[in-house]
Amino acid sequence: MDSIFNAAIGISTGLYAVLLIYIQLRHQQLRVGRIWLSTLLLLAALSDLLLVPQLETTDILLNRGFGQVIALIALIGIYSYIMIYDIREKNLASARLWLAVSAIWLIAFIVAGIASTPVDVSIEGWVIDAFKSLDASTLVLVVGFILSVLYLLGMTIWCFSRAPLPEIANRILFWILNCSTVLLGCLLLISGSSFLVILGIVLLLVGCSGAVYAAVSYQVFDIRIGFNLAIRTTLLVGLTALIVFVALYVTNSLEIALNLEGTLFLILVAIVVGAVYVPLRKGIELVINPILKGTLPDSALITRQFSQQVSQSVELDSLLKSATETLNKTLHVRRSGILLVNDTGEGKVELITSQPSADKTDHTGVLYIKSPLYQQLATAQLPISQFEIEYNPKYSEILEVEHDYFRGLQASAYAPIIVENKLTGILFCGSKLGDSPFYPRDLELLATLANQTGVALRNARLVTDLRRLNESTEQLNTGLESANQQMGKLDAVKTDFVTIASHELRTPLAQLRGYTDIMGALNEQGMLDEDKTTSMIDNMRKATERMEELIAAMLDVSQLDVDAMDLRFSQTTIETVVRMAVEPLTDAIKQRKLTLSARGLKGLPPIEADLQRLVQAFRNVVVNAIKFTPDKGRIELTASLHPSEITNEEPSILVAITDTGVGISTENIELIFQKFYRGFDPGLHSTGTYKFMGAGPGLGLTIARGVIEGHGGKIWAESPGNDAENFLGSTFYILIPIKSPETKRRVEMEGLTDFASKKAVQ
């Protein structure tokens, strides 16, 4: 037994040395620092060497059993650091935290050993003696080991349940099995039994080799396949052994002589055994293969079905639907889709996610021509899995924007769609229903299906583009027709303006000429007295003011066209604005027997505004209401505080001007704010500033909108329609902010408000 024991220690130490050399040669491929791996292997070799009896010392604190436990605690800490670093996707914080906990455990064990009798695991049967009189070092060892087992296995199982990809789950499962092997190996090394110690040496060597294998390989072998293969092999070996045993037992019971008849009988027994074994094995394989290994997909059948479905699709949406439904059904995946590839000509291509309407999300990304992903898909024309993108060192240098896009797709495999040696799309699949990984045969099948999609995708995109082009053409034709109608209206408006403006100008000009002729005639006849002169001069002044108003309105509109209206802001109130706008209209309102009321003006916060211009805007809106409201009608002004839709911004003041007039038709609700526009037949034009259905040049509302928008506000109209008999009425809303826009010029001068007030009243 001693020779076997020593041989096991020597072989394990030699293999650790080989592993040390191996990781030095492969250090560029390591997923973790080679210092950590080297330390792990050195500690494992040291824990084996401390089993040699010749290393025993007389110093109780330096006995090999105590030193071996120290080495194993350090080994568990280093191994756990490597495992957590790999499982938690190179999360240094978690790995370092556990390393600190392991260091505390190690220090606590050493201190407990120094303070009391240190545990000596080299003595056979030490476990029974230690638990009979439990000392501090043993307690620290046992509690620390139990907590380590619970945390490491619990953490790995939790990570396994949350793994985003089956390949990542398989890697975590590998670490679970490997960690269990290492922990069991450490436990057996300090068991005190020679046989169990030898088994511990083997298990620890296997566990450390597994750690090196995981550190070098980004993709470990499939645990599920290995497990299924082990069960399948065990069942078949058991079946074979059972049949052979029965055959040997029967022949041995019959005591067959070794002559010609006996030989023939043995041949017959062998034939019977073979005849029974072959169908029995086939039957067992038919039962266990679907359970353990799963039924392999029929590539030819899947390809034929997929080709039939996609070939019948002539539009992109139908191709997408048929392709994804067939993929989901035949490959047993949860979801699938197609990435459309558009060449931008800027050293990159645009990727557009195209999925069924139920799963459709606006998800676009870019893939650079020099990217390893583009080289794999477009140049090499080979499929790729998401796991390779995440873990294969070949793709470690891809840009973060590419990495985030493919990760955001939540897909598991991708295959290029190539048409005329050009990448036109990418076929992708989500995870499988059984959460099994995509094996090479699955990727090859996906690549084959992608090749079948190429021509159909190109044709579908052409048909879709043609359809969209036709729709765009129809929209352009509709827009052009609408624009032509609008242009016709504007031409009519301009013609009407010429008619109205000439009428508006002709009336005061005729008055001026008439009164000057009368004054001339009376003067020649010596009949011109003071009263007549005063009366005629007043009438001439009114005609002149009418002409000035018309010209001023035209100048204001011209300023709005070039954004040259200069607004000078000062503090005022909305009550002042409305009062100054309405007061000059009092006589006209009385003559027309209209009722005008105002509510909610008091108590509102002050505003910053150009008082003269804002009074002008409000007056234009009220005058518009007066003109289109019949005699004895009603006009109401209502003001209220309107909260801002943007957080932390001051509210505005909303003024509603409602009338019981003829109303506004739906198609004219915006046109009334355009210059020169009239909402009724200009042939019905009547002279008179405030007459019912009387009108000016059609500039009042245009100026009102320009002034209000210059204050950072908004004006709009609402009306159920236009009816000159039933008088449906309309409402104009004016929204004025409390604070003036920062881009406008602000003037704070004493007396400015009074000056503006006087101008507004005039």
Angle at Cα 306 formed by Cα 304 and Cα 308, nearest 5°?
70
- pLDDT at residue 607, as a whole number: 92
- pLDDT at residue 506, as a whole number: 60
| 340, β-bridge pairs | 352, 425
- pLDDT at residue 736, as a whole number: 93
Count how many Cα atoms sit within 13 Å of the Cα of residue 476 in the half-sphere of its side chain.
6
- pLDDT at residue 572, as a whole number: 92
- Alpha-carbon gap, residue 303 to 330, rounded angstroms: 9
- Alpha-carbon gap, residue 167 to 439, rounded angstroms: 10
User: What's the CATH fold of domain 299-468?
Assistant: Beta-Lactamase (3.30.450)
DSSP designation for 332: T
CB contact set of 584 (below 8 Å; sequence gap of 6+):
619, 761
Span 450-466, pLDDT tens digits: 888 877 777 777 777 77
Tokens of 556: 């204001």
- pLDDT at residue 761, as a whole number: 39
Span 731-757, pLDDT tens digits: 999 999 988 766 554 444 333 344 334
CB contact set of 725 (below 8 Å; sequence gap of 6+):
none
Q: What is the CA radius of gyration of the chain?
A: 47
Residue ranges in the chain whose pLDDT is less than 50: 57-61, 358-360, 562, 684-685, 745-762
- pLDDT at residue 293, as a whole number: 54
- pLDDT at residue 657, as a whole number: 95
Please, what is the angle between helix 136-161 and helix 92-115, to 10°? 170
The architecture in CATH of the region 2-219 reads: Up-down Bundle (1.20)
Q: What's the CATH number for 564-761?
A: 3.30.565.10
Angle at Cα 492 formed by Cα 487 and Cα 494, nearest 5°?
95
**Global confidence as pTM:** 0.56
CA distance readout (Å), 304 to 301, 307, 337, 371, 550:
5, 5, 19, 34, 81
Give the position of tokens 């009425």.
Answer: 729
- pLDDT at residue 115, as a whole number: 78
**Domain range annotation of the chain:** 2-219, 226-293, 299-468, 564-761
Q: Other CB atoms closer than 10 Å to residue 558's CB: what's the count?
A: 12
- Alpha-carbon gap, residue 493 to 698, rounded angstroms: 9
List the one residue out of 572, 594, 573 whose CA is nearest residue 585.
Answer: 594
The helix, strand and coil proportions of the chain, stated in percent and rounded to the nearest 5, come to: 65, 10, 25
- pLDDT at residue 739, as a whole number: 84
